[in-house]
């Protein structure tokens, strides 16, 4: 037994001496500064494994021989010998089953892990470089000098492939953090790229805040907003530049409903449009004959990124009075008169109101609570047939012709003046007709109007017909719509034969184009 131990000690001493010489390096001066190659380290590893296997083989055979001899001679193995054999066997089994030859991996001297095969590191690097190239948009390569040192390691202490990958992914992450920028796209269209993500989100929140109130329950962007990572960027925008780009207006279309007093020019001005632009959007509309209720297409300025908000509001709303009708044979059909005025009721309303860029788009009533019931209005309605001279409430053109001067400001006789009606071209002596039924309240000569007819209609509106050559009616006459009342001329202050047609509501001149059929 002692002989076996001495032999094993000798072999281990030889191996230790070999490793010390390897540690000191070659005696050859030319090789002193040379690193061992991977093949040389592999050769040393194979030598160590071979010695380990031979040592284990010999000790196992010695143990078997000892036990066999003891049995054959009926001898009892001594305690010391048995313990030595057991220890030797345990050491051999431990070395061969728990340990593995391995390589300690370093990058620029920093420990990365321990692997059983260099291919684990190679595969991890390939995976990370492929990911980095796809992410960054160029041929990415890991940095640093990868080195391998031979070792004998517990198999349980070997690094997993994902641990090696995570080290190199850490390099990629540090680089991507430095290069990463944020591209903003709206409805699939790239707007620009900024560097500061936090400042970008603060700016986007401020866009929503511009349209939010204390009643706002939600705020979101109308268009699909996307923020993506980019790395290969040539031009970066500042946050202020990005905000300006998102607020930049594009032109859309919406509609406008004509109300009393509107003019074509006024509608164009109110919507920041030229008259020609408004005409182009409404090719089928006669700008000289706008009617209350006409719907026009107008331009609408829409920002690149619109904000939709929903406000939950509470308010009170009037409840209309129910109407009870009572027939009155002394009144004309279509005429009404309130006999007893009811009192409106009141309701508390809760609603969700949707706005886009501050303009209401939808109102959903979520609850309605009656606070006060309305009372009934009693109204008399006429049943008597109207005479032919009764007003219809609509107005026809007094004569067919071209408009030579519109309502409003104009230059005439070398100076700027206000024109209170329309000038309609006519031939001398052409028939002028009543725009609607009513009573002639003036027929005669009146200053710059020349020969003038004024008709007062049943609703109090008055129509003027001026510069006539002759008059066909007298004050107090009842006239019907379309009845001849005068002949065209050029009396008074006039530049030629025409009909000056004027309308007055509550004594104030209004644009006739808003009333004429």
DSSP reduced 3-state for 153? strand
Max distance between CA atoms of the chain, in angstroms, equals 164
CA distances from 499 to 164, 375, 428, 431 (A): 97, 50, 10, 10
What is the CATH class of 250-303?
A: alpha beta
Six token digits for residue 336: 């009404």
CA distance 455 to 453: 7
Q: Topology of 308-384 in CATH?
A: Resuscitation-promoting factor rpfb fold (2.20.230)
For the chain, the structural domain boundaries read 1-179, 182-248, 250-303, 308-384, 403-514
* Pairing verdict, β 345-356 and 403-405: unpaired
What is the per-residue pLDDT for 53?
57
Spatial strand order in the sheet of 225-230:
189-194, 181-186, 225-230
**72 Cβ contact list (under 8 Å, min separation 6):** none
Six token digits for residue 52: 């380990």
Write the CATH number of the domain with boundaries 403-514. Answer: 2.70.70.10
What is the per-residue pLDDT for 262?
84
Six token digits for residue 435: 């725009």
CA distance 259 to 256: 9
Q: Per residue of the chain (517 residues), what is the pLDDT tens digit?
A: 445 445 544 544 454 455 445 444 444 444 444 455 555 555 555 555 555 555 555 555 655 555 555 545 444 445 555 555 555 555 555 555 677 788 899 999 889 899 888 888 999 899 888 888 887 778 888 888 899 988 888 888 888 888 888 888 777 777 777 777 899 999 999 999 998 999 999 999 999 999 999 999 999 999 999 998 876 677 889 999 999 999 987 766 678 888 887 888 888 888 778 888 888 888 888 777 778 888 888 877 788 999 999 999 999 999 999 999 999 999 888 889 999 999 999 999 999 999 999 888 899 999 999 999 999 999 999 999 888 898 988 999 999 999 988 888 765 656 667 888 999 999 999 999 999 999 999 999 999 999 999 999 988 999 999 999 999 999 999 999 999 999 999 999 888 999 999 999 999 999 998 888 8
Q: What is the DSSP string of 32-54?
A: TTPPPPHHHHHHHHHHHHHHHHH
Residue pair 263/209 in contact by the 8 Å Cβ criterion? no
Residue pair 254/267 in contact by the 8 Å Cβ criterion? no
Rounded to the nearest 10 degrees, what angle do helices 38-72 and 2-24 cross at? 170
What is the per-residue pLDDT for 255?
81
* Pairing verdict, β 451-456 and 462-471: antiparallel
One fold for 308-384 and 403-514: no
Six token digits for residue 246: 């998102």
What is the per-residue pLDDT for 407?
87
Sign of the torsion angle spanned by Cα atoms 450, 455, 461, 463: negative
Please report, in angstroms and rounded to a whole number, the separation of the first and last CA atoms in the chain.
Answer: 131
Paired residues of 3 in beta bridges: none
DSSP reduced 3-state for 90? helix
Six token digits for residue 117: 């095969």
Paired residues of 154 in beta bridges: 99
**164 Cβ contact list (under 8 Å, min separation 6):** 105, 112, 113, 115, 120, 121, 124
Within a 13 Å sphere around the CA of 170, how many CA atoms are in the beta-carbon half?
A: 9
């Amino acid at each position: 037994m002692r002989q076996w131990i001495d032999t094993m000690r000798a072999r281990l001493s030889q191996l230790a001496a070999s490793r010390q010489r390897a540690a000191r390096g070659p005696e050859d001066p030319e090789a002193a500064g040379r690193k061992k190659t991977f093949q040389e380290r592999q050769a040393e590893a194979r030598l160590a494994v071979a010695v380990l296997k031979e040592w284990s083989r010999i000790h196992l055979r010695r143990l078997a021989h000892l036990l066999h001899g003891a049995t054959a001679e009926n001898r009892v193995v001594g305690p010391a010998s048995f313990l030595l054999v057991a220890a030797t066997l345990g050491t051999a089994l431990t070395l061969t089953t728990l340990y593995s030859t391995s390589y300690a991996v370093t990058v620029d001297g920093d420990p990365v892990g321990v692997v059983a095969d260099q291919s684990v590191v190679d595969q991890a690097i390939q995976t990370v470089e492929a990911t980095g190239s796809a992410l960054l948009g160029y041929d990415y390569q890991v940095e640093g000098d990868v080195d391998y040192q031979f070792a004998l390691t517990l198999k349980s202490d070997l690094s997993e492939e994902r641990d090696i990958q995570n080290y190199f992914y850490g390099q990629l992450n540090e680089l991507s953090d430095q290069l990463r920028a944020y591209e903003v796209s709206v409805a699939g269209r790239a707007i620009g790229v900024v560097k500061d993500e936090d400042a970008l989100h603060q700016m986007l929140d401020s866009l929503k805040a511009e349209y939010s109130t204390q009643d706002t329950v939600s705020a979101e962007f109308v268009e699909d907003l996307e923020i993506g990572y980019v790395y290969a960027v040539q031009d970066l925008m500042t946050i202020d530049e990005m905000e300006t780009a998102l607020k930049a207006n594009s032109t859309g279309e919406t509609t406008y409903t004509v109300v009393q007093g509107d003019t074509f020019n006024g509608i164009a001005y109110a919507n920041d449009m030229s008259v020609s632009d408004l005409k182009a959007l409404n090719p089928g509309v006669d700008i000289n004959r706008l009617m209350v209720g006409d719907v026009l297409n107008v331009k609408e300025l829409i920002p690149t990124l619109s904000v939709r908000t929903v406000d939950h509001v509470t308010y009170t709303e009037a409840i209309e009075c129910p109407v009870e009708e009572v027939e009155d044979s002394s009144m004309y059909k279509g005429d009404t008169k309130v006999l007893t005025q009811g009192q409106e009721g009141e309701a508390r309303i809760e609603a969700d109101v949707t706005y886009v860029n501050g303009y209401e788009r939808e109102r959903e009533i979520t609850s309605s609570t009656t606070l006060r019931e309305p009372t009934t209005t009693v109204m008399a309605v006429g049943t008597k047939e109207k005479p032919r001279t009764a007003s219809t409430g609509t107005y026809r053109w007094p004569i067919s012709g071209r408009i030579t001067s519109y309502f409003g400001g104009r230059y005439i006789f070398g100076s700027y003046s206000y024109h209170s009606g329309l000038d309609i071209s006519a031939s001398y002596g052409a028939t002028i007709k009543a725009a609607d039924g009513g009573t002639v309240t003036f027929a005669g000569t009146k200053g710059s109007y020349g020969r003038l007819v004024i008709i007062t209609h049943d609703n109090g509106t008055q129509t003027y017909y001026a510069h006539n050559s002759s008059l066909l009616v007298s004050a107090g006459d009842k006239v019907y719509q379309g009845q001849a009342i005068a002949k065209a001329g050029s009396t008074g202050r006039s530049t030629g034969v025409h009909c000056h047609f004027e309308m007055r509501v509550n004594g104030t001149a209004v644009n006739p184009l808003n009333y004429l059929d």
